Amino acid sequence: TNVRVVARFRPPITEEEEKDQPAFAVHAGDNSNAIDLGVAENATVQSHDGKWSFDFDTAFSEEASQEVIYHRIGLPAVQDVLTGYNGTLLMYGQTGSGKTFSLFGRLTQSNLRGLAPRAAEDLVQQCLSSDSEESTIQCSFLEIYRERMRDLLHPSNHSLRIKEMPQRGLMVDGLVQDDISSSGDILKALDTGNAWRSVAATRQNQYSSRSHAIFTLYVSRRSLTDLREARFFVVSQGRNIGKNGGKRHQNHCETLSRE
């Protein structure tokens, strides 16, 4: 298994810039694989007087563009899928850390599109442009929120349940897989799914995603002598407030669930 762990910094938002400098200064290190944590110069913290460095496979500063992130992180996974290996991109971080922007970005602005639309478009273009292979691509978009599953592309679909298959392992039975025939189909699916995601206002983010979301591409490529099938998973690990967590956050969160 080829697993890479990557850290990305986002620029400060307006509310953060208006506040005093935090007690701890965190930034990308001098080399491209480290994150440095130290005490800010004007901090009043007395108990910590050191500096720590944490190594990753790659660490991106706040200046890194969406295109750079994709070519360093997303493209290698796409190339694996094209050769028949499953690929997964998992976003994890606290509320307001930039998971949704890194994953989806702004679909209407090509330079700000995130990993999911860029990877999906590349897969579609490379699969459907081949004259020597017959390719089929399908997609699904699943949300998990408060221990409930929802088909984001077909919100009226309430027949979802988890099953374990001998050859495929765990799967969501009833989750609809839509056919993809162009890059436009990908953008439409992402736009539709994101419109139905459960969001809420928080202190850090007015439209914070409150759920786990899994966007999956199912790729099958057949030539005269070979059949290659693979799945490409794009996962956003939302801040799971759950039932008890929801009570703890009710003072500053309003759930905007469209059910």
Report the alpha-carbon distance of residue 25 to residue 38 in Å, rounded: 5
Q: Which of 227, 258, 255 is nearest to 241 (CA)?
A: 255
Is residue 171 a contact partner of residue 163, using CB atoms and an 8 Å limit?
A: yes
Detail the residues annotated as belonging to a binding site: 93-100
* Long-range own/partner contacts, residues 73-78 (CB < 8 A, 24 or more apart): 73/4, 73/6, 73/115, 74/115, 74/118, 74/119, 75/119, 75/122, 77/119, 77/232, 78/119, 78/122, 78/123, 78/126, 78/232
Detail the residues annotated as belonging to a binding site for ATP: 93-100
